[in-house]
Chains A and B, each alone.
Chain A
Amino acid sequence: MLAMDYRGPKRVRAVQKPMPEIKHPQDAIVRVLRTCICGSDLHLYNGNVPDTRVGSTFGHEFVGEIVEIGADVTKVKVGDRVLVPFNIACGECHFCRQGMFGNCHESNTESTAVGAIFGYSHTAGGYNGGQAEYARVPYANVGPTIIPPDMDLDDAVLLTDVIPTGYQAAEMAGIQTGDTVVVFGAGPIGIVAARCAWLFGAGRVIIIDQEDYRLEFACNYSYCEAYNFKEMNDPVLFIKKITDWMGADCVIDAVGAEAAGNTMQTVTGRKLLLQAGSATALHWAINSVKKGGVVSIVGVYGPTDNLVPIGNMMNKGLTIRGNQTSVKRLLPRLIEHVQNGVLNPKALITHRIPLEDVADGYRMFSAKLDNCIKTVLMPPTANQ
């Protein structure tokens, strides 16, 4: 089968690989119909996630058709079209039973700090991902969710990560009616977080980024105010000024390790890898939220350390929340929102690229070429 193949930092290609096999009675094999490149895939692509092995296949956003099931699979059957949450979760462990499907204890042997994620390095369990014609999906009774017959596959594929993560970012911010919410990062997750902040009753939503085309997209998609930090001397001071010098009630970091905007963070975090990525957005979030406010982190950082003003967090009495998204927990509500027209996931898609050209897709998304917001990869099997 054709699959994406990681060769080293900023080097990927599409090659023929062996078909995935059932390894556990709860496994299923899925023929991939749509798969996306996620902003967090760029951390892998840039070589910033430890234990990202050459030969791995990335891809944690995919939908497909079940073509084979293990002996214990009862909730889906061959022929079902399913959306596959990006986390691999057993549904039975202490954490899954609290709805923490992003923190499953029975799917990742190689790290306890993170749950298992499809195609996201051996640190996240060492599973091949969905940027391929076929993928092995463990715990098929738990994760894969049957796509409603009236739902577009383009909408479904964005329900595997982008929409739930943006929604959970807003949820974790503890937004109360009338709150001012600032979102750092106008990538797909930040745009969705800004859109979802309104669902929780926000009174004002502001998004900050450095790409004008993304800010314009966010303005139109999320109905939020949008500002370019390159036009400011100091984003934190700017936010204080436009919030009557109090700071935002809630701030969402939807950037993570690839943040720009601070030379020292960029050099130490992204170039020299002395930190687990550049923590510029988190730094700004802590400093621009009001005293007693909430910082919600969905931007991905590596497993080591970052330079952030933790003293300010204590002195301002902040609450900081973060987690990998519990996709399965959120899906029923989000499917409802999509079916009712409250959320429009597929409007985020700007590019559709054949899996054979996966290297072009990564370069385009990584370098933000051709006003790219969200790229969908189309495996050859998608047309069968």
Chain B
Amino acid sequence: MEKTPKNTPKNPRIDPKQIKGWGIDADPKNDPTYPMRKRMNVGEDPDSKHRPDHLQPEDTEVLRSIERPDVSAVFGTPAPPMGLSGLIRRAAFKYSENEYKHWLPLIVADRVGVVEGIVADLSHGKLPNIWAEKGYDMEWKYNRPAFVTKLATIGAVTAGLVVWLSSGKKKQPKPVKKDYLSRF
């Protein structure tokens, strides 16, 4: 039998009619509701191919889903594909959104992009302040015991791994097979 949560007494049932605004948007016809309610089939829409008057000029590389015939009338361009991550992204966009071959390479490209970002920072003489970028000051301020425990655990596991990997038995030299026959 399911147990009752401890905070149940905090939850007395209230009369909904006492709540400001109760029922003001109630509508028996709200079923089926949005987005079904005002649906319009493409066949019923003589203007289904309508496009805005002006199209944004393509002055930068835009990767296009192959599930659409054209570039949308406006698009964003904060980070055009470049470097190794860009190559992976271009390859991913050869496949439809229906395929893992589209999405999984994009996730890989994102991770490659992180490394490229660090390299770019370093090449500009900037050492990324990982502590600040991860907002660890907030953990230190509001969650110190758990944060210290987490850091200590990561440190201990890392140290343990290093010790374990570096303290393996020294490889015994391969015993040299005595070549008894060479004497003959």
**Of B107-115, B152-160, B164-172, B173-181, which binds chain A?**
B107-115
The number of residues on chain A lying at the interface, defined by a beta carbon within 8 Å of a beta carbon of chain B, is 105
Q: Is the CB of B11 within 8 A of A219?
A: yes
Q: Which residue of A lies closest to B6 (CB)?
A: A231
Q: How large is the interface on B (under 10, 10 to 19, 20 to 34, 35 or more residues)?
A: 35 or more
Set of chain A residues within 8 Å of B129, measured between Cβ atoms: 13
Q: Is the CB of B7 within 8 A of A226?
A: yes
Does A10 sit at the interface, judged by CB under 8 A? yes
Which residues from A are CB-within-8-Å of B79? Answer: 53-56, 122, 126
> Are A198 and B5 neighbours in the complex by a CB distance under 8 Å?
no
Chain A's interface: helix, strand, loop or mixed, by majority?
A: loop
The answer to whether A106 and B34 have CB atoms under 8 Å apart is: no
Are B110 and A359 within 8 A (Cβ)? no
Q: Check A26/B54 contact, CB under 8 A, given A97-B40, A200-B26, A227-B5.
A: yes
B14 at the interface (CB under 8 A from A): yes
Contact A13 B77 (CB under 8 A): no
- Tell yes or no: B123 within 8 A of A by CB: no
B residues 38-57 near A (Cβ < 8 Å) are 38-40, 42, 45, 47-48, 50-57
* Closest residue on chain B to residue A53 by CB atoms: B79
A225 at the interface (CB under 8 A from B): yes
Beyond A112-B97, A232-B2, A304-B103, whether A360 also contacts B138 by CB under 8 A is yes
* Most central of A26, A106, A113, A369 by chain B CB within 10 Å: A106
Partner pick for B38 among A47, A56, A99, A225, CB 8 A cutoff? A99
Residue B135 at the chain A interface, CB threshold 8 Å: yes
Tell yes or no: A352 within 8 A of B by CB: no
Chain B contact residues: over half helix, strand or loop, or mixed?
loop
Contact string, B89-110, partner A, CB cutoff 8 A, digits 1/0? 1000100010010010011011
| A237 close to B2 (CB less than 8 A) | yes
Measured CB to CB, the nearest residue on chain A to B136 is: A363
In the assembled complex, the Cα of A302 lies from the Cα of B128 at a distance in Å of: 29
Task: List, in ascending order, chain B residues with CB within 8 A of A284's CB.
Answer: none
Interface status of B145 (Cβ within 8 A of chain A): no
Residues of B within 8 A of A (CB): 2-3, 5-8, 10-11, 13-14, 16, 19-28, 30-36, 38-40, 42, 45, 47-48, 50-57, 62-65, 67-68, 71-79, 85, 89, 93, 97, 100, 103, 106-107, 109-111, 113-114, 116-117, 128-130, 132-139, 141-143
Which 5 residue pairs across A and B have the least CB separation, nearest first?
A363-B135, A127-B76, A201-B26, A8-B114, A126-B76
A–B pairs, 28, beta carbons within 8 Å: A7-B114, A9-B114, A24-B74, A51-B110, A72-B53, A72-B54, A88-B74, A94-B40, A94-B42, A107-B72, A109-B72, A109-B75, A122-B63, A128-B76, A172-B35, A199-B24, A201-B16, A212-B7, A216-B10, A219-B11, A303-B97, A323-B34, A326-B35, A360-B138, A361-B135, A364-B135, A367-B138, A369-B143
